[in-house]
Structure 1
């Protein structure tokens, strides 16, 4: 089997999978998109996408965004921790070129791959 495939097991498919990520997620964001992440017990990462019509109007643009996100995830899946990720598009994501979107995603994947920082205790 191809190591860089994007099989069904690597996707968030049900509303329950998505809602689990939305409860107490780790966040990484930019002006163009936000990625929410939550640990999963499966031993491999999974991807879900939320690209609302309100943010990106045309279907062709929503599909382009999703295609670039899927490809970025597919190529980085073996470097990512065992977490469920949900990528959420913002309005300005539509203005990015494919390469700029890939660069943005790479930064956010890297940020979410690091262990979370300890919260400072308040006095």
Structure 2
């Protein structure tokens, strides 16, 4: 089992790194979050950008960052190598923790860094339900 820690080496911290990812990386977005990423040979790293425009209160910005870091930390072993920068948007301030985590997971799947979650298997063998026998209606005998 891999460690679930989130060490400094797993963070995008330097301004030149952020600039490189924003300029040369690719981008996918949702109303809540935008994800900029650039593949590399190194282990996955996360950078966060949560401005005062998203939430003027530090407590709110820190909550968003804490949820995103925790979600990334749990997914890190499954991610493709590269640098990922998540930019929070204004609706993120009103989103609860589960919505933020789901948004990040969805963006990582859309960019191809994370395999899609397996769908539950259906117990039915066919693709359509069996047809029910037709019941004659009172009008069906008249012509």
TM-score after normalising by structure 2: 0.74
Equivalent in the alignment of 1:73: 72
Equivalent in the alignment of 1:119: none
Unaligned runs of 5+ in 2: 115-143
1:13-54 residue CA offsets vs partner (Å, 9 max, x unmatched): 111111110112221210011010011232x11000010112
1:35-88 residue CA offsets vs partner (Å, 9 max, x unmatched): 10011232x110000101122211000000000000010000011111101100
More relative contact order in 1 or in 2 (CA 8 Å, sep 6+)? 1
CA RMSD of aligned residues (A): 1.7
TM-score after normalising by structure 1: 0.86
Number of aligned residue pairs: 114
Equivalent in the alignment of 1:86: 85
Q: Distance in 2 between matches of 1:113 and 1:78?
A: 14
Q: Distance in 2 between matches of 1:38 and 1:93?
A: 23
2:111 aligns to what SS in structure 1? helix
Equivalent in the alignment of 1:25: 25
Answer whether contact 1:56 1:90 (CA < 8 A) is retained.
no
In the TM superposition, residue 109 of structure 1 has moved relative to its aligned partner by 1.4
Equivalent in the alignment of 1:121: none
Equivalent in the alignment of 1:118: none
1:23 aligns to what SS in structure 2? helix
Q: 1:12 to 1:114 in 2, by over 3 A?
A: closer
Unaligned runs of 5+ in 1: 116-123
Q: Distance in 2 between matches of 1:62 and 1:99?
A: 16
Q: Distance in 1 between matches of 2:23 and 2:8?
A: 23
